[in-house]
Structure 1
Amino acid sequence: MSLLQTITTALANQEPQIDQSIHPIIFNSNDILRNLNLQIDDSNEDQTIKRVEGWKISDIDTEIVELGNDFVKKLTKKRKNPNLFGIEEFLRLLKSFLEKIRAKVVVLVDVDGTSLSCVCVLIEKLGLFLGRDVVGLIVESCVDLGVWDVLETLIREGVVGQLVPKSLIEGVIRTNRSDLICLCVKHGSHVQSSDFLSILKYFLSPPKDAYSTMLVVRKEWEKEGLLAIEKATKKGVSSQLALVAKQASLLLMIAYDGFDSSELCMHYLFASSILDELALSYCASRLDGAEMVKLIRYFGKWLRKYERFPQVVPCPKAASSLNLKCCDFVPSLEVIVKCLGSVLDDQFSSLMLHSEYYEELRSIDEVVKSLTSEVRLYCSLADLVNNVRREVGPGDNV
């Protein structure tokens, strides 16, 4: 039997796939693969593809899945009567569930303290054992009850997952917690265009009671900027780390100075992997006049910064070597130019109908001309160097 025939026969005779929700956690594959054995079938010794048998998840994994299913049933039942289900009951139920998992996997966790602090610590240590259905229900409960510390821990530890759910974005926006919104953007590799628009509009036209949490984000940038300066000037630091710290301090300086708190939050949007031109085009077409002016002004600030400080470049080593995580969320000049170009191309005709855009666009035009002239100079110098190399020949070092 040929390989193609073997595959075709196997596909035709395969059993229905098991629902993913039955096994919602990541299993220890080593234990499973170790127990697999070839099926004994004397009549098919020449088969190219050999079937295996013995697939079985471990007893601990099975027990964790059952614990998760029981927790989902209990929490779902409790949520049906919101008048009798409050924060204390939710934390008690969640802590009990996490404690049962801890006992199964034998993880040492210091859980002395209040229920809230204990739950956060347990999530940090045991988050990888929580299935998708369990996490989704916990997130919904946190949003409904306002248990923001637990929700923040879930997002920060990556338990929520790379695909940020729409319900989470909508719930967090309703709370005016700018720091949590930034966490969603930082830890989510994908956000739907409609959610991107909601987040962008939130930062372009923030409600009055959101500024207190925006100050939390501002303090985070300020703290890391001061830390970068300290590491760059501290004695005893290796020359390599000192150089990284100097680059990071310049990068954080241009990202912090001159930007208000809501614009600092926007840095996460325009430096993250969730951004694409289609999403931005969709969002720009749905902004009102005041929001569009602020967005263009934001891009203009970045262009002026990069014109004034051309020596500033991305610093990817700062987060890993110096724990300066904000460096990963500084939009590059390339991204800013692309975003501004996309907005102007798509909305140019409507922009020309409003005089409030003219001053900002004229200012941006001057900066763009300055940057363009510098690029031409660098290109001319590069061409000169290449011509000299060709004249001298490959045998000489230039």
Structure 2
Amino acid sequence: MTLLELITKASANPEIILASESDYPIILNPDESLLNLEPQLKEGLNPNFLIQPVTGFQISRIDAEIIDWGQKFLKKLKRKLKNPHNFGADDFLGILNAFFEKIGKKVGISIGVDPSDNGYTCKLIEKVGFFMGREVVRLVLEACVVLEIWEVLETLIVHGLVEHSCYSNLVNSLVTKRKSDLLCVCVKHFSDLPSSDFLCVLKYFLSTPKGAYSSMVAVKKEWESEALLAIEKATDKSLKGKKIRMANDASILLMIAYDGFSVSELCLHYLIASMSLDELILTSAISKLNGVEIMALIQYLGKWLNKYERFPQAGPCPKASSMLGLKTCEWVPTVEDIVKCIGLVLDEHFSSLVLHPEFREVLRSIQGTVNSLALETRLCCSMANVIENLRTEVKG
């Protein structure tokens, strides 16, 4: 059977895929397996062929033990979660830490943190979390939500251990739990957020439910601290050349991103700035917004237009994260993001915006800002043409 036939057969039968995931839930170490392979001695085979069949494949002893430990941990955690009232956070962290410690010792990875220190479990996840199988990760996520162990959950997200198949359940659980800060973490780290989850988060930030604002405090503090840090960098006399210019640009950008926006709008920055996603997803989400949500979105976009009109020198600072440690610069919506979003809102809800007087008033104010920005753009283009003509004359 050819490789293509094997792939076709497997894709046509999901049970085969599920069985293989269950048998080999972790990334196998190829070194020991490859060393055990030997040519298959069979009559009729041409020894001059580039590809020869081999025999002797078997997974390494260490991988086999880790898979076995994962299966036992999975069964134990399932049994414990059936009665969560008698299963607390300390009990869960205890068996999770023991599982990771056992793996770390087996593969020779030193954790380097005292077990009594805060964040010990998170450090274990950073070091050996990738040894967890897919089913183990799903159940650990479920346990973190049920027992509300948010720090561990955030670590799993940040280190890329949450797979695409877990996105929807996790996003819905965080919305139910009103964990606004962790929803922002999901938006930042889930590059392929499905359209249904994108819509769920967009609606959540546009019409924030009761009890959600308390978890947004961390988001506000992050933007505030980054803005203050940018100002410190911009006034740091030890910075020279490219770094000081970047610090000045970043301080302006983070200032306009923080001032004048509500806490929920600061969370919305992440979603709008992540619009490198498929435009169809964004269009679909905007088309499903109700009147209150459309108004909130238009007002938010209008604020951005006013900011960029007042501070035309503000622009993207993609390297500020790596050079100055200002990570939120990556999550400030650009003029292109804002204009794109406004265009999609008008395309999807034009009749509603024209017929309702409250919408018309907001659109009039936005129109004035757009006209001003368009005039500046035309002037900039004219100046660019003048400069290019002067260069041509000088060269001539």
What TM-score results when the alignment is normalised by the length of structure 2?
A: 0.89
Structure 1 match to 2:13? none
* Conserved 8 A contact 1:191-1:274: no
Shift of 1:386: 4.9
Change (3 A) 1:31 1:268: farther
RMSD over aligned Cα atoms: 2.8
Q: Aligned partners of 1:35, 1:228: CA distance in 2, in Å?
A: 56
2:127 to 99, 122, 125: 125
Worse-superposed segment, 52-61 or 179-188: 52-61
The answer as to 2:27 corresponding to 1:22 is: no
Structure 2 match to 1:323? 325
For the residue of structure 1 that corresponds to 2:83, the secondary structure is coil
| Alpha-carbon displacement from aligned partner over 1:91-145 (angstroms, at most 9, x marks no partner) | 2221221121121122222443559733222112222222211111100111112
* Conserved 8 A contact 1:116-1:150: no
Q: Aligned partners of 1:279, 1:188: CA distance in 2, in Å?
A: 14
Change (3 A) 1:8 1:287: closer
Q: Aligned partners of 1:276, 1:237: CA distance in 2, in Å?
A: 39
Change (3 A) 1:11 1:370: closer
Change (3 A) 1:116 1:151: farther
Amino acid of the residue matched to residue 144 of structure 1? Answer: V
The answer as to 2:299 corresponding to 1:297 is: yes
Structure 1 match to 2:257? 255
Aligned residues: 389
Shift of 1:259: 0.8
Structure 1 match to 2:311? 309
Shift of 1:52: 3.5
* Conserved 8 A contact 1:68-1:131: yes
Structure 1, unpaired ranges of 5+:
none
Change (3 A) 1:52 1:376: farther
State how 1:36-75 maps to structure 2 within 5 Å: 36-41=37-42, 43-45=44-46, 46-75=48-77
Structure 1 match to 2:79? 77
For the residue of structure 2 that corresponds to 1:24, the secondary structure is coil
Structure 2 match to 1:97? 99
Could you tell me the percent identity over the aligned residues?
Answer: 50
Shift of 1:54: 4.2
| Alpha-carbon displacement from aligned partner over 1:188-213 (angstroms, at most 9, x marks no partner) | 11222221122111111112322222
For the residue of structure 2 that corresponds to 1:209, the secondary structure is coil
* Conserved 8 A contact 1:285-1:347: yes
Amino acid of the residue matched to residue 362 of structure 2? Answer: E
The answer as to 2:225 corresponding to 1:212 is: no
The answer as to 2:288 corresponding to 1:286 is: yes
Amino acid of the residue matched to residue 21 of structure 1? Answer: S
Q: Aligned partners of 1:280, 1:9: CA distance in 2, in Å?
A: 38
Change (3 A) 1:366 1:172: same
* Conserved 8 A contact 2:223-2:258: yes
Shift of 1:362: 0.6
State how 1:175-190 maps to structure 2 within 5 Å: 175-190=177-192
State how 1:269-284 maps to structure 2 within 5 Å: 269-272=271-274, 275-284=277-286
Structure 2, unpaired ranges of 5+:
11-15
Q: Aligned partners of 2:165, 2:83: CA distance in 1, in Å?
A: 29
Q: Aligned partners of 1:68, 1:329: CA distance in 2, in Å?
A: 37
Shift of 1:162: 6.0
* Conserved 8 A contact 1:190-1:274: no
Shift of 1:380: 3.1
Shift of 1:279: 2.3
For the residue of structure 2 that corresponds to 1:141, the secondary structure is helix
Change (3 A) 1:161 1:326: farther
Shift of 1:178: 1.2
Amino acid of the residue matched to residue 182 of structure 1? Answer: C
* Conserved 8 A contact 2:250-2:320: yes
* Conserved 8 A contact 2:286-2:344: no
* Conserved 8 A contact 2:275-2:337: no
Structure 2 match to 1:356? 358
